[in-house]
Chain A
Amino acid sequence: MTDESSVTYLEDLLRALTSRGVRFIVAGGVAIVLHGIERTTMDLDIALDLSPENVRRFRDVTDSLGLRPLVPVPVEALSDPELVRMMVEEKHAIAFMLADPAMPLRKIDVFLTEQLSYENLAADSVPVEIPGISLRVVSLARLLELKRAVDPPRDKDIFDIRAIERLLHKGQSDV
């Protein structure tokens, strides 16, 4: 743990996004960890508000962190509904991925589909505070729905479904 800047990479990324006023909702593995489930999470999955000014702010942050799109399409394309539609319907893309070319595990996935849009997930998100960072995170119940919709489920989805069900059951029995 000698490299402090990389020890907290996920925190640095979340802090950079929130401090620049980027509107987004955390989903995927990071959300699952924040809900209390121990899980090896590699990248950050987010539902991003795709309004032009928010996409520009997001682009500024990812540029400053050295994150680049994995396909030769600029981040600004995310604010164009027709281009997003093309990526989803013609290329069957679920997410627009950006990563650090020097360290590909430093990766952020922006959801593209309507089901995983910012507008759709906002109503099922909860506020979360971690030191110096205020976030919105997809609720546990909605995470379970999303995980159950993955077809075919991967090993990690099956693990997550069982863990979320246990946690929800425990929450009910604690009431």
Chain B
Amino acid sequence: MSDDFTGDFTGDLAGVIRAIPEEAFREPQNPLESMTGLERLRWLQQTAYFIWRHKGAARGKEGQNPSVVT
């Protein structure tokens, strides 16, 4: 799905979107359930590592000026 689209592609894609079942736009089944024990363990390690490194990085930032958002 990464090809470059140029010009007006709304018409074509509107038909494509209409043809896709609504369920396809919903959250898929939790991929953890189809992983092996080792794969699951490695993924949970990654999550834990991110939490350990960055938990609370936003603390004390409430009320800061959001005007820098462009």
Residues of A within 8 A of B (CB): 1, 3, 6-11, 23, 25, 30-31, 33-42, 59, 63, 68-77, 80, 82-83, 86-87, 90-93, 97, 104-105, 122-130, 136-137, 139-141, 171
Contact = CB atoms under 8 A, between A and B. Distances in A.
Given A75-B2, A83-B17, A171-B62, A130 B53 contact: yes
Contacts of A140: 58, 62
A126 B58 contact: yes
Identify which of B9, B16, B54, B68 gathers the most chain A CB atoms within 10 Å of its CB.
B54
B1 A34 contact: no
14 contacts: A10-B50, A11-B54, A33-B51, A34-B54, A34-B58, A74-B3, A75-B2, A83-B10, A83-B17, A86-B18, A87-B17, A91-B22, A97-B27, A139-B61
Nearest to A64: B2
Contacts of A41: 47, 50-51
Interface in B1-38: 1-3, 5, 9-10, 13-14, 16-18, 20, 22, 24-28, 30-32, 35
A92 B26 CA distance: 8
Contact of A80 (B10, B32, B46, B56): B10
Given A1-B45, A1-B49, A72-B20, A36 B66 contact: no
Contacts of A171: 62
Given A72-B20, A82-B14, A126-B61, A6 B5 contact: no
Contacts of B51: 33, 38-39, 41
B64 A80 contact: no
Given A8-B50, A35-B58, A126 B25 contact: no
Contacts of B2: 59, 63, 68, 74-75
B58 A83 contact: no
A63 B35 CA distance: 24
Contact of B43 (A8, A72, A73, A105): A105
